[in-house]
Chains A and B, each alone.
Chain A
């Protein structure tokens, strides 16, 4: 079933929409949540919450990119659950990812508070400046929480190449944020 057909089911308030969404995207959403949470039970709950949220928001939404729409919801739920986990239980990889992203902040000690959507808008503009290949590697790492090895295998390049590209992109992000006046 195509995305358009599934979305039409949502609009018709036909519960078959949930079953079809699960059939087409369930596995991928589960994997995305698990990359963040490293807990099958928590991941399953995040995915279930995602279906419910989709049901509540479609309509009026009619997403142009259905999987991306679902993945965003799922990621947000997973991150929310991560907050609730104890420090000891938190996914070591996510801790590592946030530490890596810290390297892109020009001056962490003097930052003005930004809302999530403001940061998102900043990042959108930054992502538009990247080449497609660099953007893919960056988002697979920091959006999809793939490991370096997984990214290297996905694109059939060396892990060294992945690390080099990530390092360069983080530097570019730091320079971009500095230029945007993130440092106060």
Chain B
């Protein structure tokens, strides 16, 4: 086969390609792709700068829910109240709360689904969050809700809890809880 054969062989191609090459008056490739790439780059830049403003802390060692000491032992100065930045509201002055439905118990706490927003709109309803309970979570309140809970690894799956949290890591969707209370 020669170049001439190829050139002449083009005479046998599908007519729709011939028609397409005759009727198409513009090429979309250069502008669309450049525009799409530019838009993606801008989005990445925005995500980068916005993500740098959100605070994520190193998570403390966590203990089983059953062994968490009372909240009274938390020195007030160690409770950052402005670690969460809310996209539409700016930094919150009080420790924010959210109501979660417990999906699964974990060694660090539990995985919950956002069931109700209380005083922050950082999350979306239905969003999954990993909840990590620090050493100083208020165990007494949980214990009052269910006295058996502190002595057994009770599965709280399906239970709604109010979680007051002190930090939120967007990368891992993890919140560090200061306070957890069963809503009933």
Contact = CB atoms under 8 A, between A and B. Distances in A.
Interface in B2-38: 2-22, 24-30
A105 B14 CA distance: 21
A64 B16 CA distance: 8
A81 to B, nearest CB: 13
Contacts of A64: 15-16
B1 A114 contact: yes
Interface residues of B, number: 29
Contacts of A139: 10, 17-18, 20-21
B55 to A, nearest CB: 45
A104 B17 CA distance: 20
Contacts, number: 129
A69 B29 contact: no
B31 to A, nearest CB: 10
Contacts of A119: 1, 5-6, 8-9, 12
Contacts of A4: none
A23 interface: no
Contact of A135 (B7, B19, B21, B26): B21
A133 interface: yes
B140 to A, nearest CB: 66
B6 A104 contact: yes
A105 B2 contact: yes
Interface residues of A, number: 54
Contact of A65 (B9, B11, B16, B29): B16
A71 B18 contact: yes
Contacts of A102: 2-3, 6
A63 B15 contact: yes
B19 A68 contact: yes
A117 B12 contact: yes
A155 B20 CA distance: 14
Contacts of A79: 8, 11
Interface of A: 28, 63-65, 67-69, 71-72, 75-76, 79, 94, 97-105, 108, 111-114, 116-124, 127, 131-133, 135-137, 139-140, 142-144, 154-157, 161, 182
9 contacts: A28-B22, A65-B19, A98-B6, A103-B3, A116-B8, A116-B9, A127-B17, A132-B28, A139-B21
Given A98-B6, A119-B9, 13 more contacts: A67-B18, A67-B19, A68-B18, A108-B1, A119-B5, A120-B11, A120-B12, A123-B6, A127-B14, A132-B20, A133-B27, A139-B20, A143-B18
